[in-house]
Structure 1
């Protein structure tokens, strides 16, 4: 009887009649032991790969920080009083002065744009009020952006 159980696959199944028969390797039937071993090997693989993956993530995270250096054209400003830093004191002063000048110019441009927008917005509101006015003689003049009286041509406030 011991000679009957020595098959290559090592997997045996007991039939309902009580007979023990070998399972061919290609049948796809797995025993509890096989499933447990498969789970353990997956767990071992994950445990082995986890530290490697963590090191790779940390290395990728630190690479840009380590590579950042103050070079020509970058925004690093280091002034140590000796002129040996990334920028000399004079270059830093000129850079700051240029930034302040462009900041003032940007502020003026933004203020002008805001005024033009406010004027157009106000004109749109005035046109709506003029057109919705109960005054039959009121009409909107698009060139001057004013509400005028048809009879006198004077500006009116509806």
Structure 2
């Protein structure tokens, strides 16, 4: 059952994107402008539930202890992903380094929330990931604008 949900969340969308981009380029061309908006809606829906269900826990004084680790993680994670691809053995073009940094950074918290709900059995375990998504979105969008 759990492997089925991982397939649904990870493998199916990636495989579908690869198939569409390879064998149905016209469909991919039509969907491409809409997909960022669809991804934003899906991400919002994934984090809204844990945030809403655990609102009192998030707004408590104890939750302030989450802010520093979350900000530190994202402050370090985006540049590390970028600089890894600058290592001579990986040497990538500037556009690739930026894309990988932003793509992997923007995806990790949402995935963590989904996996926490699925494998740890409740939305309260996804609170950290949901808060992380908010920080990730703000930092990622700021980096993208920069």
User: TM-score, length-normalised on structure 2?
Assistant: 0.23
Structure with greater proportional helix content: 2
Structure with greater proportional strand content: 1
User: TM-score, length-normalised on structure 1?
Assistant: 0.22
With a CA cutoff of 8 Å and minimum separation of 6, indicate the structure with the bigger relative contact order.
2
